[in-house]
Chains A and B, each alone.
Chain A
Amino acid sequence: GEDVEQSLFLSVREGDSSVINCTYTDSSSTYLYWYKQEPGAGLQLLTYIFSNMDMKQDQRLTVLLNKKDKHLSLRIADTQTGDSAIYFCAESKGNTDKLIFGTGTRLQVFP
């Protein structure tokens, strides 16, 4: 079946690293994505990783993929108050463009 799970909340202190976790069930997923949603706004693509990769780094963002455990994580280094938002992981289905989203993790950054 199709299921993408995330924890609902994460609270971190400014300057610390944040790690947002995601698990998925569909082993045929080809791409996995992280989107950011700020209040009142749409979804902004942060980064994505192809399923044959283990890691992708883009400035403060590091994505780790454990395909065996179907576990995806997003690490934000030096977290800032502007990083406060809801973060969604999503998987794409095989050769289609259909996205299956997780429930979203609300990241709160406090001073």
Chain B
Amino acid sequence: EAQVTQNPRYLITVTGKKLTVTCSQNMNHEYMSWYRQDPGLGLRQIYYSMNVEVTDKGDVPEGYKVSRKEKRNFPLILESPSPNQTSLYFCASSPGRTGQPQHFGDGTRLSIL
């Protein structure tokens, strides 16, 4: 089954404790992206990757890192999480050709205390 898998689905942690949210897709997609969803703001792009070893900032990259060492994986790293990063996070992927829709994971709800 074609899917985008995120882990964990839920996480409660404390300020400053490094965490990683994993994202994996099994569709051989070139393009991957991370979004955060906040009430009243919709989804905002954090980082994206056009292909292996190619990453770039989205609209709200501060406080986040990503890597793309393999085509299927695109982890999101919070080196020193803060409460304002409490949010619902989505990973998405697409073939990378214009107009091909993005497929989304089920989301990761992060709470930073």
Contacts from A to B (Cβ < 8 Å): 4, 8, 30-31, 33, 35, 40-45, 48, 50, 88, 90, 92, 95-99, 101-104
Contact = CB atoms under 8 A, between A and B. Distances in A.
- Report, as a range, how many residues of chain B touch the other chain: 20 to 34
B102 A42 contact: no
Contacts of A35: 104
17 contacts: A8-B40, A40-B107, A42-B106, A42-B107, A43-B90, A43-B92, A45-B103, A48-B99, A48-B101, A88-B42, A92-B99, A95-B98, A97-B48, A97-B94, A98-B48, A102-B42, A103-B40
Contact of B99 (A31, A41, A88, A103): A31
B42 A50 contact: no
Given A102-B42, A103-B42, A104-B42, A43 B104 contact: yes
A31 B42 contact: no
A52 to B, nearest CB: 11
Given A30-B98, A42-B4, A43-B92, 17 more contacts: A4-B42, A31-B99, A40-B106, A40-B107, A41-B106, A42-B106, A43-B104, A88-B42, A97-B31, A97-B50, A97-B102, A98-B33, A98-B45, A98-B58, A101-B44, A103-B40, A103-B41
